[in-house]
Amino acid sequence: MNKFISIISIAAMILVAGACNKQDQPDDGSGKMSDLQYLIDGLVRTDEAGNIIGYIVGDSLNEANPWEISVPVNNYEEAAAIFRDLLPEDAQVTTSGSSLIWTMTDEEGKPEGTAELSEDPGLGAIAAMTINPVLQAGAVKQVSPSVHFILTSTWPQNAGAAEEILEKYFCLGARVTVEKDLDYGTGDFVVIRRWTPSECGIMIRLLEPKEEDRPWTFSKMSTLHKVHKALFANYDLLVNQIGKAQKWPSLDRWYISSEATWTSKNGYVNLKTNKEKWAYKAGNYAYAFVYYFKPKGDKVVLW
């Protein structure tokens, strides 16, 4: 299998994160992300205007409502696993019959509503996740996605002509060369999670920072956890396949870093433990440029 390809003129948006040494991160003891925002950021990627530019989980099958997301699963247990994976590690989930309910809080710890997964008796549907936000006084109402878990057997075959490209050039461990500079950098990216109808693919590029490096644009904390899980699950395979000369970080000491847009503080996800940490500053960074990808017609699109 040829795992080296040059992808030219890719129109994409890219999330950029950094990594740092644990000892250089004083924890400021404060700062919390809105649970609702964490959940939404784990489902979709949006631009500054709030428009969806990519689906991290599933896809939209309803052109009239891009916030209606569908995810193919084989049973309710798979839907429940995806639901729990969307939540923070310390999320308190209660049960009511077969339903799973997460009570959300905002940055100040105030009630923010619930996210509930329940069985769905609809045609071809297995479960549905509904988000029921509670707005604080003066808060602006935010568009919230709904998620429908449908039978895999009813999922449209939407990989199309791009399927061969995905299997050959975007398989796990494949190296993809991005040559068009869209102000986010170019170079060789390694696929750390292959695309499936349930989840978008992920590929990353690690490099040491230099003084002349361009300023960062930052991803959200929830997407960093997805990058962590994909990288950690396949780490040994990737290191052996790509080679240790690529300066792969030690999982014991490196972090994926994000400057959260909901606070002035920095947040970090440990590559070894998947634990969050908040700090004002940190050193010894290495960058982890991140692309998400999926098929669209006869092409593979990135964002």
- Write out the H or E segment, with its range, that includes residue 300: strand 299-302
Alpha helices in the chain (DSSP H): 35-43, 76-85, 163-169, 221-233, 235-242
Give the pLDDT score at 49: 84
- Rounded distance, CA 87 to CA 84, Å? 5
- Is the pLDDT higher at 154 or at 12? 154
Q: pLDDT tens-digit profile of 236-247?
A: 888 887 776 555
What does the pLDDT average to over 134-152? 78
Percent of the chain with pLDDT over 90: 33
Is residue 2's pLDDT more than 50? no
Average pLDDT along the chain: 76
Is residue 163's pLDDT more than 60? yes
pTM above 0.95, yes or no: no
Is residue 98's pLDDT more than 80? yes
- The dihedral sign for the CA sequence 186, 187, 190, 196: positive
Give the pLDDT score at 76: 96
Is residue 158's pLDDT more than 60? no
- The dihedral sign for the CA sequence 150, 154, 295, 53: negative
Q: pLDDT tens-digit profile of 179-237?
A: 876 555 677 888 999 999 999 999 887 665 554 454 444 457 788 888 888 988 888 88
**Closest listed residue to residue 188, CA positions, set 1, 9, 5:** 5
Give the pLDDT score at 90: 85
Give the pLDDT score at 70: 96
Residue 83: phi and psi, rounded to 5, are -60, -50
- Rounded distance, CA 86 to CA 83, Å? 5
- Rounded distance, CA 33 to CA 40, Å? 12
Give the pLDDT score at 254: 67
- Rounded distance, CA 27 to CA 118, Å? 38
Q: pLDDT tens-digit profile of 7-66?
A: 323 323 222 232 333 333 334 444 567 899 899 989 998 887 888 989 999 999 998 999
Most confidently predicted of 80-89, 136-145, 186-195, 289-298: 80-89
Structure-block tokens of residue 295:
């098929």
Percent of the chain with pLDDT over 70: 68
Give the pLDDT score at 246: 58
Q: Are strands 255-259 and 266-270 parallel, antiparallel or unpaired?
A: antiparallel
Distance separating the N- and C-terminal Cα atoms of the chain: 25
Burial call 245-258: b when 16+ CB within 10 Å, e when fewer: eeebbebeebbbbb
Pairs from 100-105 (Cβ < 8 Å, separation ≥ 24): 102/35, 104/34, 104/35, 104/36, 104/39, 104/133, 105/32, 105/35
